[in-house]
Amino acid sequence: MNEVEQSLSEFAWLPEAKLKLLGRLGILTLRDLVEHYPRRYEDRTQFAPFPTAESETPICIKGVIIKVNARYFGSRKIVEVVLEDLIGSVLSQRIYCRWFNQHYIQRMLAAGHQVILYGRPKIQKNRIYMDHPEFEVIEDEGEENIHMGRITPVYPLTDGLRQRALRGLIFQAVQQLQKIEIDGALESRTHALIQIHFPESWEAQNRAREILALEELVALQIIVQQRKRAISGLKGEIHAGAGRLGRRLMENLPFRLTGAQKSAIEEIRRDLKRPVPMNRLLHGDVGAGKTLVAAIAMLDVVEQGFETALMAPTQVLAEQHYRTLWGWFSELGIRMALRTSTKQDQSHLALEGNAQVIVGTHALLFDPELFGKLGLVIIDEQHKFGVLQRTKLLQRQPVPDLLVMTATPIPRTLAMTVYGDLDVSVLDEKPKDRKPIITRARSAAKVPEAASFISERIKAGRQAYIIYPVIEESQSLGLKAATSEFEHWRKLLPDARCGLLHGRLSSDEKERVMEQFRCSKIDVLVSTTVIEVGVDVPNATVMVIENAERFGLAQLHQLRGRIGRSEHQSYCVLLTDNEEAALERLSILEHTENGFEIAEADLRLRGPGNLLGTEQSGLPPLKLADLIRDAHLVATAKELAQEIVEKDPHLVQSVNQRFRNVANAANGTFLGN
């Protein structure tokens, strides 16, 4: 076994007590330890002077403790440390550091200790305070000083594991790496690891980070490219008919297709004409017309004599798709069925075995006898399913074509990674008759004003949504809930007919409520995010979202997409209790309806895992690479991975040789910047 993969328990220099603590961080092997990267660095070649004013950004200072005391404020214990500047001048002020309810701090610090502090200074009663600063006690150093007088790494920790101890263990680990001789092949990687942990300069740290980030991205892209090759090697069939049904549908529509829709339809038709399984992503903004593009693809496949399946993540969305498609397909004589339960006797429409188009939820995955001649699988909002569920419908011979759709616009870097195994069609145009949605972020105290505005719109003949993040109240979360607030809104809107919709209602109850809302028998629908995608009620022109700070920007954009679907002016009000932290972020939605801009902002704020469910993607996590900061590396990683998989599809070539290629490419990229 490669020594890099050895268990840490096999190394004599690692105490058993530390093994348990490292295990809490998921660090079990030498590789895990050397890939536990710093979360930041401190320039300990020089320290900031003791502050005399507040600072919005944290500073790093060095001083000596002159007093440690503890006191109680109610039930809270406060440990306070008074610090003086080691090389203080007549202008220097003492710093008062406070930790609340952290009893162990008192045992770690004592008068006379020299310490390094990292925190944000603030002024209270003419004193300079730091609350909960990070700290490290300066001790006598050995011959090789890894803690002081250098650019010093600061790592993520766990209870019981101190910064100095972990830094020492990682220093031992990178030394261990240098002793491992694999014909010198890992020399460049080991050098990069040394420089990422204990850099000689900021330039060396940056170069090492680029090399290791590119390595992560290449590893990810190799998996993506292997998936793509595996699908392209499968036996498919030609599923495209002559296109007569699709043309009849388009001729009967009361509107014209956008240029983006026409392009996507042509790209899909080209795939359907090939005897290789289609593996395509159709993504675009809310209201851009993905369902119509999918419908025309379905008609092509049905015309050729095959069945099609459309899978949606929720019953509400599946029923919406069924209703929309039935409106288009019924006059064309297409036989349809809806399946929203794993039990056939609970199906919305009993299957007779001859349906040409079957719409459903994940229930479609559980009946191998459901399809006789499946030609096309369409998965809507695919990031809510995950890779394993996505591929389950494709486990048949010949393999059907696959079209996955999402209304979450995807930043280019994510499209090349999470969906890198798919060909991509983009819908970046909206119908020209849609008016911009007026969006405003406001304090939660504005609920009475929101109720008044909703009343005005109802009197004008319109309808409204009121959205909550949870179904029931929770003291731990401190969020407003749909069920409890429903009664509150009935009192605020005494003349309105209010309905309640959430995921715990039975299938029949959900359908009854949605049908009443569609038919304008309900004026105001109080709901959770069960209506996030697919629901289409053109007369609904107002949306109020409570606790808006709890949602990502992309999800808020999705919710907002339920309105603005007619010629009437629409309005979205985002209410938040957490004003200072949230209003600035929410203001992004006030200024743009461009889903791609919003997706980029969401990626920066929340990361790719939260934005698109990458935890379900089957791809390795990125420890060091950042899809925003390292966007310029993603294309390089894709090219390298394609070259590696093309030349070495079974990855027989050593990891060491692959890293040489990565290091050379990263060095070229770095030097070229």
- In order of 369, 375, 637, the CA distances from 236 in angstroms are 20, 9, 30
CA distance 291 to 284: 11
Higher pLDDT, 607 or 451: 451
Query: Are residues 446 and 305 part of one domain?
Result: no
Q: What mean pLDDT comes out for the span 520-529?
A: 92
Q: Is 160 inside any structural domain?
A: no
pLDDT given at position 390:
61
Amino acid 632: pLDDT: 82
Residues composing the chain: 673
Q: Please report whether residue 551 resides in a domain.
A: yes
Q: Are residues 326 and 454 in the same domain?
A: no
Residue 51 tokens read as 């502050």
Q: What is the DSSP string of 422-485?
A: SEEEEE----TTPPPPEEEEEEGGGHHHHHHHHHHHHHTT-EEEEE-SBSS-BTTTTB-BHHHH
Confirm whether 629 is domain-assigned: no
Region 400-425: mean pLDDT is 77
Percentage of the chain surpassing pLDDT 90?
Answer: 30
447 and 547 assigned to the same domain? yes
CATH number at residue 510: 3.40.50.300
Considering 551, 577, 592, which residue would you say is the last residue of a domain?
Answer: 592
The CATH number covering residue 142 comes to: 2.40.50.140
**The pLDDT of residue 289 is above 60:** yes
| Nearest Cα residue to 97 out of 125, 73, 67 | 67
Distance CA 206, CA 196 (A): 8
Pair 423, 525 in one domain: no
pLDDT score recorded for residue 308 = 94
For residues 453 and 337, state if they share a domain.
Answer: no
- Residue 602 counted as domain residue: no
pLDDT at residue 609 tops 60: no
- Tell me what pLDDT residue 347 has: 39
Q: Work out the pLDDT band at 672, boundaries 50, 70, 90.
A: very low
Nearest to 560 by CA among 535, 580, 585: 535
Of 592, 608, 631, the residue that ends a domain is 592
Reading the block at residue 151, the tokens are 């650019």
Q: In what order do the strands lie in the sheet with 540-545?
A: 438-443, 571-576, 540-545, 463-467, 524-527, 498-501
Per-residue model confidence as pLDDT tens digits over 367-383? 667 788 889 999 887 55
Confidence of residue 293 (pLDDT cuts 50, 70, 90): very high
Say what the alpha-carbon torsion angle 142, 148, 151, 154 is, to the nearest 10 degrees: 90
Q: What pLDDT score does 475 carry?
A: 47
Whether 334 and 387 share a structural domain: yes
pTM of structure: 0.69
Residue 114 CB partners (closer than 8 Å, separation 6+): 62, 63, 64, 65, 86, 137, 138
Last residue of a domain, one of 404, 427, 450: 427
DSSP string, 596-630: HHHHHHHHHHHHHHHHHTGGGTTPPP-SS--TTTT
Look at residue 344 and tell me whether its pLDDT is greater than 60: no
403 and 376 Cβ atoms separated by less than 8 Å: yes
Residue scoring higher pLDDT (646 or 378): 378
Q: What is the DSSP letter of 577?
A: S
Q: Is residue 505 included in any domain, yes or no? A: yes
Same-domain pairing of 447 and 569:
yes
The answer to whether residue 665 sits within a structural domain is: no
Query: How far apart (Å, rounded) are the C-alpha atoms in residues 532 and 295?
Result: 21
Between 24-38, 238-252, 350-364, 487-501, the lowest mean confidence (pLDDT) is in 350-364
| Same domain assignment for residues 509 and 363 | no
Return the ∠ at Cα 532 (arms to 491 and 406), rounded to 5°.
170
Q: Tell me the mean pLDDT in the region 4-20.
A: 86
Q: What is the pLDDT of residue 605?
A: 72
Distance of CA 659 to the CA centre of its chain: 28
When pLDDT is averaged across residues 84-105 and rounded to a whole number, the result is 80
Q: How far apart are CA 656 and CA 519, in angstroms?
A: 65
State the residue for tokens 């406070």: 98
Distances (CA, A) of 190 to 184, 195, 415, 486: 10, 9, 31, 60
Burial class (CB in 10 A: 0-12, 13-18, 19+), 591: exposed
Domain count, the chain: 3
Question: Is there a single domain that holds both residue 498 and residue 360?
Answer: no
- Dist CA 197 CA 212 (whole Å): 12
**pLDDT at residue number 506:** 84
Pair 556, 585: CB distance under 8 Å: no
Separation of alpha carbons 181 and 80, rounded Å: 50
CA–CA separation, 571 and 450 (whole Å): 11
Q: Are residues 381 and 446 in the same domain?
A: no
**pLDDT value at position 341?**
67
State the Cα–Cα distance between residues 338 and 13, nearest whole angstrom: 63
Residue 504 lies in a domain: yes
C-alpha–C-alpha distance, residues 636 and 640, integer Å: 6
pLDDT confidence of residue 627 = 76
Are 460 and 449 within 8 A, CB to CB?
A: no
Pairing of strands 122-124, 127-131: antiparallel
pLDDT value at position 342?
Answer: 47
Question: Token digits for 406?
Answer: 């999402």
Q: Within this chain, do residues 510 and 466 fall inside the same structural domain, yes or no?
A: yes
DSSP 307-352: EEEEE-SSHHHHHHHHHHHHHHHGGGT--EEEE-SSSGGG-SS---
CB atoms within 10 A of CB 659: 22
pLDDT at 446 over 60: yes
Q: What backbone phi and psi angles, to 5 degrees, belong to 372?
A: -100, -40
In 3D space, the residue among 244, 331, 314 whose CA is nearest the CA of residue 527 turns out to be 314
Q: Which helix (H) or strand (E) holds 290?
A: helix 290-303
* Residue 346: predicted pLDDT: 38
Mean pLDDT within 206-228: 87
Same-domain status, 121 and 254: no
Grade residue 350 by pLDDT with cuts at 50, 70 and 90.
very low
Tokens representing 103 are 């009893």
Q: How confident is the model at residue 399, as a pLDDT?
A: 86
> Residue type for 540, please?
A
| Between residues 424 and 416, the one the model is more confident about | 424
Mean pLDDT of the chain: 82
Q: Which domain holds residue 96?
A: 46-148
Annotate 396-427 with DSSP letters as a single string: SSSPPEEEEEESS---HHHHHHTTTTSEEEEE
Distance in angstroms between the alpha carbons of the first and the last residue of the chain: 38
587 closest CA partner among 450, 384, 439, 485: 439
Task: Note whether residue 575 is domain-resident.
Answer: yes
